Structure 1
Amino acid sequence: MAIKPKETVVPFPVHAEGTGVYQTLTAGGEGGHVFHTDAYPAFGGKDSAPSPLFYLLGALTSCNQVTGSLVAKDLGITVTKWTFDIVGDLDTAVFVGGADGNANFDRVEVRATVETDATEEQFEQFVSEVARRCPVTQMFTRSGLEFDNRWTRVEATATV
Structure 2
Amino acid sequence: MAAEKLIKVKSSGKWEGGLKTSISIRNFSPFIVDEPRSLGGTDEGPNPVEYVLGALSSCTSVMIAFIAKEKNFSYQGVEFKNDGTLDLRGLMGVEGVSPHFQNVNFEVIFKTDESDSRIEELKEEVEKRCPVYNLIKDAGVKIESKWYKI
TM-score (norm 2): 0.90
- The structure where strand makes up a greater share of residues is 1
The one of 3, 8, 12 aligned to 1:11? 8
Tell me the C-alpha RMSD between the 2 structures: 1.6
* Aligned counterpart, 2:101: 105
Deviation at 1:79, TM superposition (A): 1.9
Q: Tell whether the 8 Å contact from 2:110 to 2:149 is kept in structure 1 after alignment.
A: yes
Are 2:90 and 1:94 aligned? yes
| Structure 1 alignment gaps of length 5 or more | 155-160
CA separation in 1, counterparts of 2:60 and 2:135? Answer: 12
CA separation in 1, counterparts of 2:24 and 2:127? Answer: 28
Are 2:70 and 1:71 aligned? no
What SS does the corresponding residue of 2:59 show, helix, strand or coil?
helix
Offset from partner CA, 1:62-83 (integer Å, 9 cap, x none): 1000001101000011221111
How many residues are matched?
A: 146
Identity %: 25
Q: Tell whether the 8 Å contact from 2:120 to 2:147 is kept in structure 1 after alignment.
A: no
What SS does the corresponding residue of 1:149 show, helix, strand or coil?
strand
Deviation at 1:114, TM superposition (A): 1.2
TM-score (norm 1): 0.85
Q: Which of structures 1 and 2 has the bigger CA Rg? A: 1
Give the AA of the match of 1:12: V
* Aligned counterpart, 2:132: 136
CA separation in 2, counterparts of 1:94 and 1:42? Answer: 17
Q: Tell whether the 8 Å contact from 1:94 to 1:102 is kept in structure 2 after alignment.
A: yes
What SS does the corresponding residue of 1:105 show, helix, strand or coil?
coil
Moved more, 129-138 or 11-20: 11-20
